Chain A
Amino acid sequence: MDSLEIWAEKYRPRKLDDVINQRHVVERVKVFVKERNIPHMLYAGPPGSGKTTVALCISEELFGSAWRQSTLETNASDERGINVIRQKIKDFARTRAIGDVPFKIIVLDEADALTPEAQQALRRTMETFTRTARFILCCNYSSRVIEPIQSRCAVFRFRPLSGDDVRAYVMRIVQGEGLKITDKAIEAIIYFAQGDLRKAANLLQASAALSREIDESSIYEAASQARPEDVRLMLEKALSGHFQEAREILQDMLLRQGLMGEDLIREIHRQVYSLDLTDEEKVQLIDKIGEYDFRLTEGGNELIQLEALLAQFLLFSKAHKRR
């Protein structure tokens, strides 16, 4: 795996002391590790803020080189339903951990993707294996985790990382890889990453693939290449009155390519500024984008919500406006 050299992984901190910021979490967690006893924990926070990293650091510091055998990593979005997850946990927690730590660690990512019912089932599983396993649940929004689980866990909120935090992390990679990079390029990474270290590392590595010396423009180039490319075309189709064609592009992106609705809607928002519309029309559309984005976060189906948004773009087609 080291041979693949994906920097986001290569520069993932291996010790709690190396974790970027999140001091309030790390300080308390270090006490647990020192006492060789950890509670069930719930980590909530934005993507790329260090949740999985802290969980893996704990495991490595507790179990040393044997950490893999004593750690089960799973996530709610890959497994087919809670029963598969429970079976995995059961098989894993049946045997005792090797060494002097009396429990194994189960890291369940994207716990907020489970329905409340599935979470109830998970809660029972947590109780069943509480002697032999400790759970670390990770999620973006703790409000989507049912209270009975929250009350059984020590809840840690990971803060959005600052520009300086991102800079510190980028500098580690720059030094480790011996890169040539301008200050403005680092500023650009900070701007795009929005506190997400995984994104910062990926953007940096993609830019490095495009040019030997990394400046502002290579960052912008990589960032734009990484965006869903069909979004612009889709919006133009809708604005020229070709709703069904726009719908087809959307279905291809969401269903065949497997892109995520929230990424698409973010890109739609970004594209609005440069569309051939008056500013007043743009403001009206942004109002609609916000509304359908909200419906998505309320649990709406990605396809129907984005199609409904596309139908709003159709209202601004020239043919319609002439009516």
Chain B
Amino acid sequence: MSWVSRYRPRSFKEVLDQKEAIETLMAWYKNWKPGSKAMLLYGPPGCGKTVIVEALAQEEGLDLIEMNASDFRSAEAIEARIGRSMAQASIFQRPKLFLIDEVDGLAGEEDRGGVGAIIQIIKGSKHPIVLTANDPYNERLRTIRPYCQLVRMRRLGIRDVQRYLERIAELEGLSIDESVLKIIASRSQGDLRSAINDLEVLGRGSRIIRDEDLSSLGFRERQTDIFEALQAIFKTKSLMTAKLSLNEVDKDLEEVFWWIENNIAEEYEDPLEIAKAFDALSKADLFMSRVIFRQNWKLQAYAVDLMTGGVALAKREPYRKFTRYTYPSNIALLGRTKGERSEALKALGKLGSILHCSRRKVRAEFLPYLKIMAKRPDFKERLDAFMEASED
């Protein structure tokens, strides 16, 4: 069972936030009689639309009949599936509640019949019907809207999502940093379902989840975009094609920069092409640093043109070969050596405090000489003693 279903809220109490929507839904249900409007719940993905309808059925002891609008694409299909049961009042059975999910997914050109059928069903139903949608003002839903009471559900807060994840992590016995949960939560942008899916991907692999694991998650998810962009840049001789390739990429410019940098010498074989491409990146980098240092954002346009078009046009002809583009080695190296470097920084900091300078200066201006001085046993002894003494 996926974690999304395992940890699905079963009652109103377990549903995150959405108090207003629940109250409106309850009032609508209590007052509903044949001929009343249907309910159209709308809101962003993963905010709990389906979940609160399921909770309503649970709490009121209703027989919930769930359908996904995209399952049936024509009037006949809807009729055949639910038309008849809707028009029948049930005397011996539990009361029914119909849920038609994602109605905005239903209304394509060829589905006009589908919209019309839903309107007919709403008008003639003996049972309450709930519809859900992401965007109720979608032009194709125009004709349905008058037959519905619209209730908006809000995007979930990042902190609510995070707390929910915390509970799951605890129940699953995961060892996971709060910071990691926070990142998953904020990446989800309030979509609890996607957040739980992300957590499951990480948690299924191992009980202990660290920062690094997170990067592999984002990496996999967004991989296709960056690879397509790299392919466009490296295989084209057109400035516009190269430049526009970045439009699809949802990574920040700096990371894209290093992806391009890492793969120049994988793709290009002629030293002149490599030198030209790196020179274009060098100039792009200067523009980016001016953007930051002078807060002059219009300069960013030149950086983008140089890092895409400049690199693309460094080659004589596109190479007719397949290149396996790889993850930026500098970012990987920094990740791999994090522990080692933080140890070194601590030691440098200790020396810095007695030498009255920054760790950077200790490393650049003292360390090369300290290594030579330490060739004398008496100095090495003192140095070791100092490092140990200031350990606490």
A292 to B359, CA, bound (A): 25
Contact A315 B289 (CB under 8 A): no
Q: Mark B270-312, 1 if CB is under 8 A from A, else 0.
A: 1110110111011001100110111100000000000000000
Please encode chain A, from 281 to 302, with 1 for each CB lying within 8 Å of some chain B CB and 0 for all others.
0000000000010010011110
- B340 beta carbon closer than 8 Å to chain A: yes
Contact of B340 among A109, A209, A256 (CB under 8 A): A256
Q: In the bound complex, what is the Cα–Cα distance between A304 and B275 (angstroms)?
A: 12
* Shortest beta-carbon distance from A47 to chain B in Å: 7
CB nearest to A198 among chain B residues: B365
Contact with B along A245-257 (1 / 0, CB 8 A): 0011001100110
Q: How far does the alpha carbon of A4 sit from the alpha carbon of B384 in the complex, in Å?
A: 9
Contact between chains at A315 and B373 (CB < 8 Å): no
From residue B263, how far is it (CB to closest CB) to chain A in Å? 11
CB < 8 Å neighbour of B282 from A56, A117, A292: A292
Chain B interface, DSSP helix/strand/loop, else mixed: helix
Residues B275 and A6 in contact, CB atoms below 8 Å apart = no
Which residue of A8, A258, A310 is within 8 Å of B344 (Cβ)? A258
Find residues 1-41 in chain A having any chain B CB closer than 8 Å to their own CB. 1, 3-6, 8-9, 12
Tally B residues with Cβ within 8 Å of A: 57
Of the residues B277, B370, B375, contact of A210 by C-beta under 8 Å = B375
Chain A residues closer than 8 Å to B357, beta-carbon distance: 52, 75, 109
Per-residue A-contact encoding for B313-352, CB less than 8 Å = 1, 0 else:
0000000000000000110011001001100100001001
Alpha-carbon separation in the docked complex, A160 to B271 (Å): 41
Instruction: Judge whether A115 is part of the interface by a CB distance below 8 angstroms.
Output: yes
Q: Which residues of B contact A5 (CB under 8 A)?
A: 379, 382
Residue of A nearest to B356 (CB): A52
Which stretch in A89-97, A128-136, A200-208 binds the other chain?
A200-208
- B interface residues with partner A (beta carbon < 8 Å): 257, 261, 265, 270-272, 274-275, 277-279, 281-282, 285-286, 289-290, 292-295, 329-330, 333-334, 337, 340-341, 344, 349, 352, 354-361, 363-366, 368-376, 379, 382-383, 385-386
14 A-B pairs with CB atoms under 8 Å apart are A4-B383, A73-B356, A77-B361, A109-B357, A199-B365, A209-B372, A225-B372, A227-B368, A258-B344, A295-B285, A298-B289, A307-B261, A311-B277, A315-B272
